[in-house]
Amino acid sequence: MRDRELYAKIMGISTPWSVEDVEVDLAGEKVLVKVACKDGPLPCPECGKSCPRYDSRSRSWRHLDTMQFETFLVADVPRVKCEKDGVHQVKVPWAEKGSHFTAMFECLVIDWLKEASIEAVARQLRMTWDQVDGIMARAVQRGKARRAPVRPKVIGVDEKAFKKRHEYVTIVCDALTGDVLHVGDERKAAALEEFYESLSPRQKSGVMGVAMDMWPAYIAATQEHLPNAQIIFDRFHVMKHIGEAVDQVRRVENRELLRLGDRSLVGSKYLFLTNHEDLAPERKRLFKDLKLSSLQVARAYALKETARHLWGYKRLGWARRNWNQWISWARRSRLEPMKRAAATVRDHLDGILNAVVTGVSNAVAEGLNSRIQTVKQRACGFRNRERFKNAIYFHLGGLDLYPSVSS
């Protein structure tokens, strides 16, 4: 089999295209596959009508390597003149419009990007950083265009910092499948409203609950656009808020004790923040005397532990009664941080009760946060917000990323 026939078969080149020549540059370690289109009318890429040729433009595409040699496909691509749509370049069967890479090569890069950073892929495939980033951006763009209208029953909303100085993106996910549905700029109401406004009335009516932290901007946006959906304040965020109040009590008391020469609370931070059953045996023994003491932080810890066991109720009435008792206890504790935490719980009690009774949490969104952190670490951080958003969609969007044509 001659080289032209070989490349025509392995690259899937067929009528009206044919491989005219194959050039091998041994010194430059490159293979040039020259492809030509036969004479005659060609279909308009817009309407499909057979049209006369207008002119042609020289184009080239990077293809999969031949052995250790970089391989390029080159062709004079015709343009046709359509009476309806004007002058357009015809479609080629081996690459998508506007790409400088064959579809098979883009598929290879996408597979690599799922395993390694842009920098690593560029280095291994002898590409520039911008070329690899461009393939990722196109993959995300086509994946989002192909995505069928989403109909999530429960969505999770969370924020993620993408660089220092508190610069955030807002992440919306399907709380059941874990797919990222939307990444908005910053953590403002507008970021979430952008997603809500993209939904049809039917899609909005299908959303039964929105799991989030107690961020006022997210609450306001949800109440405005999804008035019939339950707002669910996730257990993780509520308990984190209460835990921070316990730590504030500990820090103030520790400073006071140190002033008196008492080092009882030195190094005890994580003893009070960690769940008792998760402590190592030797840490449990060390902690036993502290939590049973008359220290203020011991009382704060007792409040935290009681709150931790208020999430198992199935009946709304019992859940409300016991959470109100906890709020009353915390407000009488004479511990200012715990009183502030109680006020926060009181102001958000309906959303907390929704989480208790439905059993819905923002665990999927929190899991996504961990996976996004892995993406950030692999890329050594992001300076550009759009590239960070593309990386999230690429790895966590559940998108069909691959080109629609194949060589």
pLDDT tens, position by position, 225-258: 999 999 999 898 899 999 999 999 999 999 999 9
333-345 average pLDDT score = 97
CA distance 102 to 1: 24
Proportion of the chain above pLDDT 70, given as a percent: 99
Tokens of 13: 């080149």
Of 246, 216, 364, 219, whose CA–CA distance to 308 is shortest? 246
CA distance 351 to 267: 35
The dihedral over CA atoms of 155, 178, 121, 138, expressed in degrees to the nearest 10, equals -50
Q: What is the pLDDT of residues 154-175, one digit of tens each?
A: 999 998 887 766 788 999 999 9
13-17 average pLDDT score = 92
Looking at residue 397, what is its pLDDT? 95
pTM for the model stands at 0.85
337-363 average pLDDT score = 93
Flag whether pLDDT at 407 surpasses 70.
Answer: no
How open is the CA angle 75-81-84, to the nearest 5 degrees?
Answer: 135
- Helix (H) or strand (E) holding 123, with range, is helix 118-124
Q: Is the peptide bond between 16 and the residue preceding it cis, with omega within 30 degrees of 0?
A: yes
Lowest model confidence (mean pLDDT) among 27-36, 148-157, 290-299: 290-299
> Tokens 């026939």, residue?
5
Through-space distance between the first and last CA atoms of the chain, rounded to whole angstroms = 20
Long-range contacts of 376-385 (CB under 8 A, 24+ apart): 376/162, 378/116, 378/117, 379/117, 379/118, 379/119, 380/117, 380/119, 381/162, 381/163, 382/162, 382/163, 383/163, 385/162, 385/167, 385/169, 385/185
Flag whether pLDDT at 176 surpasses 60.
Answer: yes
CA distance 17 to 371: 45
Give the number of other Cβ atoms within 10 Å of residue 160's Cβ: 18
Domain residue spans in the chain? 3-144, 154-230+382-396, 235-358
CA distance 330 to 304: 10
Phi first, then psi, for residue 313 (nearest 5°) are -75, 150
- Indicate the SS3 state at residue 37: strand
Q: What is the pLDDT of residues 54-108, one digit of tens each?
A: 999 999 999 999 999 999 999 999 999 999 999 999 999 999 998 999 999 999 9
Contact 231, 207 (CB under 8 A): no
Looking at residue 165, what is its pLDDT? 63
Q: What is the pLDDT of residues 295-313, one digit of tens each?
A: 999 999 999 999 999 999 9
Looking at residue 406, what is its pLDDT? 47
CA distance 360 to 378: 31
Flag whether pLDDT at 351 surpasses 70.
Answer: yes
Q: What is the CA radius of gyration of the chain?
A: 30
Flag whether pLDDT at 292 surpasses 90.
Answer: no
5-28 average pLDDT score = 92
Flag whether pLDDT at 365 surpasses 80.
Answer: no
> What is the third-level CATH fold of 154-230+382-396?
Nucleotidyltransferase; domain 5 (3.30.420)
Rounded mean pLDDT of the chain?
92
Contact 352, 233 (CB under 8 A): yes
Q: 177 or 198, which is more confident?
A: 198
- Strand segments, DSSP code E, in 50-190 are 50-51, 53-66, 69-82, 86-89, 154-163, 167-174, 180-185
